[in-house]
């Protein structure tokens, strides 16, 4: 069995520090890599704050995090057994990075991408050893969310998938292995199918943005942590499921292009809510507090 004792996480922004703290929960000595010393310092401080948050919630021992930060990629990567990148979702940039990592990392190291949508087979295209490249898609916030989607590329070796799966389970995560490399993986395919229909409902004047969110949060969303989509259908009965689907499915949006409302708001630099209507920090804090409650029962 492959031993993963040291890891490097490339990316000091939103996801990197949380991924690093997660790996440290499995006893892995982890270094966050940033482009600059200043970025590395900020990443180290954020990792420390996340570790304190987990310790205060009883989700990790006090002072247990094995996390450092550096701007020296060419020094850190050759020592790592696992390298996870968490940089912007740009295929060409990721391809360039993985080709570089392929030449820097030791032969038995695993190279992983935190991509939430891109093909890992395409990301590995310029690398000489695609058998050691796979996806580890951590859900945000990565230090709290249990799910990690592992995607096996067309040439990824099975032993690397098993090694990363077992490590993530040791870190307290729920790793799900996707055997087929597909755009958006599983979680984002489901999430964006829901988003497309939600936007369609608003565009059709059926309900407001606020009311659609209220339906999601106070309807099916509130039971989903313990009640999966297929579990629900089996419990209520597939005869009922079919009857509802027969009646509703024809009115659902199936347009294969980005909805007009989303494209317009994005081009204008706006959100779905009006400016000043949504406190982003308050939303994130509410989300994190809810996830901590689910994990700890307090």
- Annotated active-site residue 116? The verdict is yes
Q: Which of 79, 188, 200, 253 is catalytic?
A: 188
126 vs 97: CA distance, rounded Å? 9
183 vs 23: CA distance, rounded Å? 26
Q: Which of 116, 119, 127, 160 is catalytic?
A: 116
9 sits in which H/E element: strand 6-10
138 vs 145: CA distance, rounded Å? 8
Q: Which of 113, 119, 137, 143 is catalytic?
A: 137
Return the SS3 of 75: helix
209-218 and 187-203 helices, crossing angle to 10°:
140
- Annotated active-site residue 45? The verdict is no
- Annotated active-site residue 232? The verdict is no
- Annotated active-site residue 149? The verdict is yes
Q: How far is CA 216 from CA 6, 144, 197, 229, in A?
A: 41, 21, 12, 14
The rounded Cα 91 to chain-centroid distance in angstroms is 17
User: Would you please indicate which residues are annotated as catalytic (active-site) residues?
Assistant: 116, 137, 149, 188
């Amino acid at each position: 069995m492959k031993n993963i004792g040291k890891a490097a996480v490339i990316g000091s922004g939103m996801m990197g520090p949380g991924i690093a703290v997660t790996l440290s929960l499995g006893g892995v000595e982890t270094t966050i890599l940033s482009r600059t010393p200043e970025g590395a310092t900020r990443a180290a401080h954020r990792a420390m704050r996340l570790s304190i948050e987990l310790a205060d919630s009883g989700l990790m021992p006090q002072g247990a995090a094995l996390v450092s930060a550096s701007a020296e990629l060419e020094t850190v990567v050759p020592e790592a057994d696992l390298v996870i990148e968490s940089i912007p979702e740009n295929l060409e940039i990721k391809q360039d990075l993985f080709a570089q990592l392929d030449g820097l990392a030791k032969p038995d190291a695993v190279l992983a991408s935190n991509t939430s949508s891109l093909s890992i087979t395409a990301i590995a295209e310029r690398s000489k050893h695609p058998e050691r490249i796979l996806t580890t898609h951590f859900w945000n916030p990565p230090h709290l969310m249990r799910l990690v989607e592992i995607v096996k590329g067309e040439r990824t070796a099975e032993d690397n998938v098993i090694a990363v799966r077992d490590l993530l389970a040791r870190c307290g995560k729920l790793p799900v292995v996707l055997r087929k490399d597909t755009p958006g993986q599983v979680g984002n395919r489901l999430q964006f199918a829901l988003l497309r229909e939600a936007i369609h409902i608003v565009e059709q004047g059926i309900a407001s943005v606020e009311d659609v969110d209220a339906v999601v949060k106070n309807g099916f969303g509130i039971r989903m942590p313990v009640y999966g989509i297929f579990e629900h259908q089996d419990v209520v009965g597939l005869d009922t499921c079919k009857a509802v689907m027969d009646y509703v499915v024809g009115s659902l949006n199936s347009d294969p292009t980005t909805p007009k409302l989303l494209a317009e708001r994005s081009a204008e630099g706006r959100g779905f809510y009006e400016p000043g209507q949504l406190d982003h920090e308050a939303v994130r804090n509410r989300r994190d507090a809810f996830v901590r409650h689910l994990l700890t029962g307090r």
